[in-house]
Amino acid sequence: MPNMNMLQAINNALDVAMAEDERVLCFGEDVGSFGGVFRATSHLQEKYGHARCFNTPIVEQGIVGFANGLASQGSVPVAEIQFADYIFPAFDQLVNETAKFRYRSGDLFNVGGLTLRAPYGGGISGGHYHSQSPEAYFAHTSGLKVVIPRNPYEAKGLLLASIRDPDPVLFFEPKRLYRASTGEVPEEDYQLPLGEAEVTREGTDVTLVGWGAQMEVIDRAVELAEKDGISCEVIDLRTILPWDEDTVADSVLKTGRLVVTHEAPRTGGFAGEIAAAIQERCFLYLESPVMRVTGLDTPFPLTLEKEYLPDHLKIHEAIRASVNY
C-alpha cells in the first residue's frame, strides 16, 4: 500500500468517489485550479472538469444552501467550508434546512447525499478565527451526522462512507494532522462504518475517549501512564453523531474509570454528553468520577495556544487522578 498523509488520503477519497459516481460534485472557496487553501482538492478540476469541481463565492450560507438544493435534486455534493470557524454563517442552513429536510417532508424529499468538509481544530497558530472545534454545536442537531478522522487510513474510509451515506454528514478534518499524520492507505475503494467507535488499545485500569487529533495526544499520555504501571484502554469515537455509546459503556464496565478529552471548550463540550450517558449506564461500576480534559472556556488564543490545548501532560494528570481517586 502507498504511504499517504491525511491530505493525500482525502484527495484520493474524493477522486475515488468522483470516478465512481458522476453525480458527485466538489465545490467551495478556491477548491478549483488552486486545489483549496490546504490543497485537498488538487487536480480534481483538471481531471473532472469545471462542471464537477468549481469555486464558489465567499459566502458560506450560500455554499450550504446551494448544496441543499443540489442534494434535493439528486446530486451528491461534497462542499468545503474553508475553515470550520467559517461555518457559523451557514448555521441556519445546516440546522434548519439540511437537518430537517427529510423529516419535514415525511421522506418525500431529502438531502441525504450532502457531505460538508471542513478543516477544524488548533495546532497551526491560527488564532481565534482559524482554530475552533465546533462539533458540539451540531451534535445537538438531529438529522445530521458528524464524523472526525484521526489518521489518513481513517480519513479515506470514513469520507467515502460519508459521501455514500443516506444522511447529510459534517466531516471535520483535523488540520494539524493534514501533513503531520502519515500511514499506509489502500489505493482501492473502501469504507469504514459510521457510528462505530474503535478500541485502538486494550487495557484494564482506565478508559480514555477522544477523536481526531486528540488521539495522538492520548497515545503520548498513555505511554507516560504505562510507566506508572497504569493499563489504559483507548477508544477513538470517530463519529460524534450518532456516537457509539455501547462501546464506551462496555469499556467502562470493565475498567471502572473514564477520561474524555477534546479541544473544544469544557462548558457544553461533547465530553459532558459522554460523561452524563456513562454515569447513567455505569454508575455502580465507576471507581472515580468521569474526568474531562478539554480546551478552556475562552476564545481560542494565538500566543497561548499551547496553554489552551489539552496536551498529553494534562491527560496524564487526569489519568493519575482517576486511578488514585
Residue type, 247: T
CA 139 to the chain's CA centroid: 11
Catalytic residues: 60, 130
Sign of torsion, CA 20 23 29 32?
positive
Helices and strands, counts by H and E, the chain: 12, 14
Q: Please give the Cα distance from 164 to 158 (Å, whole number).
A: 10
Give the residue among 127, 116, 121, 131 at the shortest CA–CA distance from 168.
116
- Bridge partner residues of 37 (DSSP): none
SS3 of residue 233 by DSSP: strand
Residue 115: is it exposed, middle or buried by C-beta count within 10 angstroms (0-12/13-18/19+)? buried
Q: Please give the Cα distance from 10 to 216 (Å, whole number).
A: 19
Q: What is the pairing mode between strands 145-147 and 169-174?
A: parallel
Cell numbers of 127, please?
A: 488564532
